[in-house]
Amino acid sequence: MFTREQASLIKQEFWTTFGKYMSPIPSAEGNRINWVNYHTRVKNVYFRMDAGAKSAMIYIAIQHADPGIQELYFEQFLELKELLHATLQEEWEWQLHTPTADGNVTTRIYKEISDVSVFNKDQWPELISFFKQRIIALDSFWENAKHTFHALH
C-alpha cells in the first residue's frame, strides 16, 4: 500500500509519461494539444481520463450545476450517439444524473476497464494504449460535433 503522497507522485508520473508520449500527436485540426488536460471549449463539458488502483476510465463529463441543463446536453449527445460510437469504434456507457462523492450530480458517457492499476508500472503500456486511442477518437468526434454544443451555452 502507498501513502497518499506516494500515490499522488505515482499518478503524477503516469500522467507526465502519458503527456510526453502523446505530445507529438496533433489534434484532428492539426494543432498542438494538451491531451491530458483536453479543453472542449464548451463550458461544463469535459473529456476526462482517470486511472486508479483497480480500473481506468475515459469519459465525457457534463457538469452543469442545473440538472435540467445537463439533460439538454445529454440529449444533444444522444442525437450524436451513432457518430460518437462510429468514431470510437465501440459503444460506451451512458449515465444521466449520477451523484458524485462531493455531493454534486454529473452526467457521464464513458468507457471503463477493470483489473488495471496505475500503481503497477508494468500495466502502464496497457493504460496508455487504452487512453490514447480513445482520446484521439474523442478529439476527432469533437471536431465534427462541437459546433452543435456551442449553440447551447
| Helices (H), ranges, the chain | 4-22, 67-79, 81-88, 124-150
Calculate the average pLDDT of the chain. Answer: 95
For residue 28, tell me if it sits in a domain: no
Percent pLDDT > 90 in the chain is 90
pLDDT in tens, 103-148: 889 999 999 999 999 999 999 999 999 999 999 999 999 999 999 8
* DSSP-based three-state secondary structure for 99: strand
Q: Quick one: cell of 113?
A: 476497464
State how many domains the chain has.
1
pLDDT at site 23: 96
pLDDT at residue 151 is higher than 80: no
pLDDT at site 100: 85
Quote the CA–CA distance of 7 and 119 in Å, as a whole number.
7
Domain that holds residue 49: 4-23+33-150
pLDDT in tens, 38-48: 999 999 999 99
H or E, element range at 61: strand 55-62
Helix 81-88 to helix 67-79 angle (10° resolution) is 70
